[in-house]
Each structure stands twice: as C-alpha cells, then as structure tokens.
Amino acid sequence: MQAEFERPFNLETGPMLRFKLLRLAPEEHIFIVTIHHIVFDGWSVKVLLQELAVLYDAYRQGKTAVLPPLPIQYTDYAHWQQTWLDDAHLQKLAAYWRIQIPASLPHLSLPTDHSRPAKRSYKGGVVHFKLTSTLSSRLKALGQRAGTTLFMTLLAAFQTLLHRYSGQNDILVGSPTANRIPPEVEGLIGFFVNTLVLRANFEDAPTFLDVLRQVRQTTLSAYDHQAMPYEKLVEMLNPARQQGQDALFQVMFVLQNADEIVAQLGDLTVTPLSAEMSTAENELTLSMAEEGDSLVGHLVYAVDLFERETIERLAGHFQTLLQAIAAFPEKRVDSLNLLPVHERYLLLDEWAYGRIRDWPTPDTSFVHDLFSQMAKMQPTAVAIQTDEESWTYAELEKRANQLAHYFRQLGVGPDSVVAVYQNRTARIVLTMLAVFKAGGVFLPLDPALPPERINYMLADSETAVIACSKSLKTNLPAMNVPVVSVDDPQTEKAWHTLPEQPPATVIKPENGAYLIYTSGSTGTPKGVLVSHRAYCYHVARMAHLYKVTPDDKLLQFFSFSFDPALEQVMMALSRGAALYLRGDELWNPQELYQRVEKHGITVMALPTAYWHQLAWAWRRMPGQNGRFPLRLVDIGGELMSLDALHRWQAIQPPHMVLHNVYGPTETTISATLLQISHDTQ
C-alpha cells in the first residue's frame, strides 16, 4: 500500500488516477485509490465516494446506475474563472493583497538542523500527536467566547508558536481553501483548491486574545478576497526568492473538515485507511482534524531541514502552548509557557547545574505541597524517624491534614502566628506541616530559652495560637490565646476525627511561612518573617544542590529556633527522603558516629562548634565501599577553624563533601556556600 502510494505519476502520458483492489480474505479487501493532486482535491474525496456508493448499490441490485446530471463541467468552471477575473476584478483583489502582504516581508526563518539545500528533495516525514478531550473542549470554548472558529483559534496558536520559534514579528502561513465558488461546482470532482496567505503581526507585545482578534479579522477578509489565484498573487508581488524556499510562505496550516466519509457501500462496511506521508511540499505543514471528542495533529516536515526529534519537540511545545493559551488567553504571547515539564527540568536542572540563577523553580510556592506530592508518590516510605518511633509519608500527611483542620477551627489563617513550644519529637514536624497547611505562620520556640525571651517573642509576634507539649504547658505565661497540647490524648482524640484531606488553600505565596527571632544588633530579639515562596524556592534549590533523593536519610540536629532546622526538615520531606530527628539530649561525637552507622544517615547539618568536636574526636570514616554511609556534611553559624578543617580532611573519604554555609535569616536561611572535598586546598 505504501509502495503504491509512493509510485510516481507520468504527467505527460497519464493516467492521473489509479485504482487497485487487494483481496485479503473472502470478505476483506483493500481498495486503493491513488490520484494526483492536479486533478483531485480533498473535497473531491467525498464526492467520489458518494458516487461510488450509488454505482455499487445499483450494480449489487442489478439496476442501471443513474447519477444526477452535473450542472457544469470543470472546463466550464475554468472558462468562468478566466472571464470573471477580468482587469477590474483582478485590480480590486490585487489592491487588497498588496496591502496585506508587502513584497518586502522577510521569509520565515525557523531554526533548522541542516543547511537549506540548493535543490529540494521534497522528501518528508510526519509526526502525529493528539490533544486530550479536555484541552480540545477548552480550546473550542475559548473560540466561542472570542467569536472565532476552531480554524482561527488553532491558526492563531500556530502562528504564535512560529513567532516564538523564529523571533520574527510578521508571520506568514499558507492555508488551502476549498474555493468551491460558485455553488454549481460543489458536486464536481477536480482540483479547485486555492491557497491563502494569512499574516499575523506580533509587534507591541500582544496578548493571545489580541492575536486571536487580529487573526479573525485577517481570515474573514482573506475569504472575501480568496478569488485571487495564488499563482497570480506570486506573479504580481514578485517577491525576492531565497535558495530552496517557497515564494511567499514556508509553512502551511490545514484544518481538515469533520465531514464523515461514507461508511457503507451497500452491504459493505468501509473503513478509511491512509498511507504515511513521505513527501513534503513545504518546510513544515501542520494539519489538524477532529477525531471524536479530541483534536489530532500531523506535522509534515522536510527531512532536508529537520530531524524527527526536532519536530517531535516542536509538537510538544505546541501542545504545551495550547494548554497555556486555554488557561491564560489574556497573557502576553511572549510570556506563555512553551516548555513541557521534562524540558524545563533539562534546562533548569540538568544543563544549568551550578548556575545559581538558573536553579530549578518548583511547580508550587508551598513546601507542604511538595511534601504532599511525595506522600502520594511513596505513601509507605519512612518520612520521619526518631529513637522511639517512625512515621510513613502517608501517616504524616494524614495527621498533618487533620491537625491543620483543628487549627482552622481555632481561627488560624493567613499570617496567624502559631507558636510551637515542644519537645524534639516527631510531633514538632507534624505541627510545623499542620501550621503551613492551615495557612498560619510557624514560630518555633526552643524550651531551653529563658522564660523572659519566650514571653517577649509571644507578645511581640502577636501569637494567635500556642501548640505545646503537654509536659511544657505549665512553663508558658498566661495569655488570652488558645493553647493546644498536641500530645495530650484528649486533644489528639479531638483532631483525629477531622478530615484526612488537606483543608482548602487560603494563602498566597507572599504570605508568611515562618517567623524566626534573631539576636538583633541591639541585643533585643528581632523577628524575621519569611514568605512561603522564598522558603519553598530555597528548599527546592538546596535539595537540588545537595542532590537529595528518596534513598537519602537526613539528620535534623539544629534547634528549631534556628532556621537551618527548617531547611533540613523540608529538604528531606520534599524529595521523598527520610528525616532522622535528634531528641532533646545532645549526643557526644561517638554517639553521633554510632547513629550515622546504625541508621544509614547520608546527609547532616551541624553547628560549626559541634563539628569542631567531631573533627578532633572521629578517627576514621570508611570510604564508599565501607559501612560509613555519610556523603555530605553541612556546617555553619560561625567561623570554621582551619586546624579542624585539615584534621577533618585527613579522614574525609573521597565520596564525602563538606559544605560551609553562611547567610542571615533575612536572605532565607543561607546565602553563600563553599564546597570542600578531601583534597580542597
């Protein structure tokens, strides 16, 4: 079938049409119809099959077939067209097209994989794609709201894609029109198609709705002037031609009619088949069609210019652009997203690794959303572990959602401060997530701090709710705010009955996520409020830099009143890693070493002063093939001792990296980082 499709015609001797019947089984056949475009167009397919059905039905019944007489012949149409296109009509059409398409417009310059050959081979390839029924419906609805046809909506989107690809503001696209005028020719078989050249201009940074209105006006006007034959238009404009390029356009757009092809020939069921396109008349042709509730697309491309992978990527960009258009038609076309998620990852993560300004941006501005995504992906994985207990991602997600609903009942919402005064158990992480999900601001209070400092922070922050450990409740000052003992059995019983799904989001990215009190330059504690967006972006980028994966186990060592603790918690939970939480007792260096070995801790952040002790106390750290799993240590908070560094490097295995970080709280946890290996000078 493909070979028959590719067999060339002899235009001098003919014939211009071929028919072949292949018998596959007694009741299964393939009827191959191959016709040269010079005598046949897409409209003619339906006419041919309708007449074939009449002839077959008459033959099957032993009757004489009677086809309705044609009002005119193709030769009559050709004569009429030449007569109608007299000088007056032609001049009127020419005046319009000269304004619409100045001969000085540059050719579309798409980025190609290969240099343009002096002589085109016309060899083509095709890439198929299909839009979801949801996206297809949204695009149709957009057109209805804008008063445009589906053709206009898709053409505007395609011209937007070409503008983004080329960087050019004037985009010319060819599009075939049936050109079945006058109506007497609607029942004729022949080639009537004319090609319209449709222009879109992207100057002055238009929105997509602006482009759509422009395309509507241009298309309707072009239909009014479609009688100008394309050959006459080229002859009249006489544009400067470039090697291996078409005269006026290099790209075509086609929306195939949704008319049903005849499905019956008497008692036979007919299923249309088509051969794969192996020729390309243009550099690129996008053909779209409705298929059930969806839209399907076919990108035919010149193999002289493009690799298949390039066109597959372009098809992905077009689908992503259509999604952005359907969601945000009022946005400027230059700001609409083109890149699918995997390409954004390549550009911003893989290819730009180490370039800080290009570190990946998460698809949300909330760290608790990143955690929830992980909980869905790996519900049974360990999320948090202490010496006494461990919770899975699903358990932590469920409890955090329930506690968040409880906080909502207490009035917690955007920028409501929830002071967390708890022992170092898994519940402090649970409370932190619940505060974020409820929309409040997390204010960690270290029970080791003097009461005066605790009282000051509670008053200065205008705390709305206090979430404490039951054993610490009596240490709190009397305040006219709700106090929740998170680990109290009666309290737990109350919030355990609440919904397991997260409460509706009521916050914006710029709302506060957490409040940290620093010592301040005057000695008076100063509160620093960090937004959800800043926190989420920092966590995502540091997790990327630290290459955190679900195979990691991160140690949470810092006091929660220091912001590195918040970094460590969410770096683990946003990447599917396990978080190992130190209890209230401070381990000595040997106890830490034992826990690293026993629990497989791979990443840990430590105060510099404590790390100094490790550097002198630890005697060895087995390499990658040994039992010691630690691969990254992060220190900060004060000046590093060079003597301690040299001692550390003497035992630091090649696979391990040391990070020395610094940054004021106002810059979201850290601002600078030095990476040190075992042989860094």
**Does the structure show a pLDDT above 80 at 242?**
no
Displacement of CA 650 from its chain's centroid (Å): 46
**Does the structure show a pLDDT above 80 at 11?**
yes
Judge contact between 589 and 617, C-beta under 8 A: yes
pLDDT at 359: 63
Q: Which two tokens stand for residue 321?
A: 């652009």
Segment 157-162 mean pLDDT? 98
What are 554-594's pLDDT values in tens digits?
Answer: 999 999 999 999 999 999 999 999 999 999 888 999 999 99
Under the banding of pLDDT at 50, 70 and 90, the label for residue 259 is low
Judge contact between 67 and 51, C-beta under 8 A: yes
Q: Could you give the maximum distance between any two Cα atoms of the chain, in Å?
A: 108
Lowest-confidence segment of 124-128, 209-213, 351-355, 569-573 by average pLDDT: 351-355
CA distances 433 to 373, 391, 576, Å, are 13, 14, 15
**Does the structure show a pLDDT above 60 at 356?**
no
Segment 476-483 mean pLDDT? 90
**Does the structure show a pLDDT above 90 at 216?**
yes
**Does the structure show a pLDDT above 50 at 274?**
yes
pLDDT at 322: 98
Q: State how far the Cα of 446 lies from the Cα of 558, in Å rounded to an integer.
A: 11
Under the banding of pLDDT at 50, 70 and 90, the label for residue 354 is very low
Lowest-confidence segment of 45-54, 295-304, 545-554 by average pLDDT: 45-54
CA distances 270 to 28, 197, 266, Å, are 10, 36, 10
pLDDT at 441: 97
Lowest-confidence segment of 74-78, 323-327, 513-517, 590-594 by average pLDDT: 74-78
Under the banding of pLDDT at 50, 70 and 90, the label for residue 190 is confident
pLDDT at 348: 66
Q: Which residue has the higher pLDDT, 154 or 677?
A: 154
What are 600-628's pLDDT values in tens digits?
Answer: 999 999 999 999 999 999 887 765 455 67
b/e string for 519-552 if b means 16 or more Cβ within 10 A? eeeeeeeebbbbbbbbbbbbbbbbbbbbebeeeb
* Percent of the chain residues past pLDDT 90, beyond the cut: 59
pLDDT at 262: 57
**Does the structure show a pLDDT above 80 at 161?**
yes
What are 387-397's pLDDT values in tens digits?
Answer: 899 999 999 99
Under the banding of pLDDT at 50, 70 and 90, the label for residue 547 is very high
pLDDT at 651: 85
pLDDT at 520: 60
Lowest-confidence segment of 75-84, 335-344, 495-504, 544-553 by average pLDDT: 75-84
Judge contact between 117 and 183, C-beta under 8 A: no
Judge contact between 645 and 654, C-beta under 8 A: no
**Does the structure show a pLDDT above 70 at 309?**
yes
**How buried is residue 393: exposed, middle or buried, by Cβ count under 10 Å (0-12/13-18/19+)?**
buried
Under the banding of pLDDT at 50, 70 and 90, the label for residue 351 is low
pLDDT at 521: 54
Q: State how far the Cα of 500 lies from the Cα of 403, in Å rounded to an integer.
A: 9
Segment 440-446 mean pLDDT? 96
How many H-runs (helices) and E-runs (strands) does the chain carry?
A: 20, 24
Q: Considering the chain, what is the average pLDDT of its residues?
A: 89
Q: Which two tokens stand for residue 216?
A: 């509507």
Displacement of CA 241 from its chain's centroid (Å): 39
pLDDT at 66: 84
Q: Does domain 74-113+121-261+272-338 have CATH number 3.30.559.30?
A: yes
Find all residues with CB under 8 Å of 26, minimum gap 6, and list them: none
Q: Which two tokens stand for residue 448?
A: 């080791």
Q: State how far the Cα of 301 lies from the Cα of 303, in Å rounded to an integer.
A: 6
**SS3 state at 607:** strand
What are 53-106's pLDDT values in tens digits?
Answer: 888 888 888 888 888 888 888 888 888 877 777 778 888 898 999 999 987 788
Q: State how far the Cα of 437 lies from the Cα of 66, in Å rounded to an integer.
A: 75
For residue 182, say if its preceding peptide bond is cis, omega within 30 degrees of 0.
Answer: yes
pLDDT at 627: 64
Domain boundaries, the chain: 74-113+121-261+272-338
pLDDT at 443: 97
Segment 363-367 mean pLDDT? 90
- Per the listing, tokens 């601002």 go with 671
pLDDT at 54: 86
